[in-house]
Chains A and B, each alone.
Chain A
Amino acid sequence: DAGVIQSPRHEVTEMGQEVTLRCKPISGHNSLFWYRQTMMRGLELLIYFNNNVPIDDSGMPEDRFSAKMPNASFSTLKIQPSEPRDSAVYFCASSLWTGGSYNEQFFGPGTRLTVL
């Protein structure tokens, strides 16, 4: 079975450019999460969706970051304009949310972003 799919796996861009990261959750899952991982700050939740609806975006660092989930099988995280401090590994995760208690989150392989 396919797990969470992320693309691209690596992205190198220059400061000021727009960056779009893509995620395909596990089929049948109804929750999707975007995380950022850095050496300094560890793994941080940026935003998550239930049934394609954004629930909590309090982790999104700035207005330069935006996320969308137009349907159950696709989500994007966009950074515009990008800055060197955005360099990190961005993970997408999905889960089958049953309401209430914790449900296991399955992580994708991540996108390693470098902003020069």
Chain B
Amino acid sequence: QKEVEQDPGPLSVPEGAIVSLNCTYSNSAFQYFMWYRQYSRKGPELLMYTYSSGNKEDGRFTAQVDKSSKYISLFIRDSQPSDSATYLCAMGRIQGAQKLVFGQGTRLTINP
């Protein structure tokens, strides 16, 4: 069983829709939770970062962490074609926080 599970999709939604992306994990030692966005033929870039549990909002993006369920989510409101990319969740421990474990990535397409 992988430490981090993420549905690779692909996911295709119309412009303006609310998008929900999710990851589950098995290691309760994870305390840092991140979402990276990766455009085609580019390197990943950090989109959202959360420490421990709770919600974090940044513009149209909201990240949620539910440690009791070992489940994290990324919500995109008013989705735009420019949001079309692969979204990767990533997690890190307090001890050895630099060593991130990534999900498989979900490929998202927003249709105009």
Contact = CB atoms under 8 A, between A and B. Distances in A.
A54 interface: no
A43 B105 CA distance: 9
Contact of A105 (B94, B96, B100, B103): B100
Contacts, number: 57
Interface stretch (A12-20, A79-87, A106-114): A106-114
Contacts of B34: 102
Contacts of B44: 43, 91, 107
Interface residues of A, number: 26
A43 B42 contact: no
A71 interface: no
Contacts of B100: 45, 105
Contact of B99 (A45, A104, A108): A45
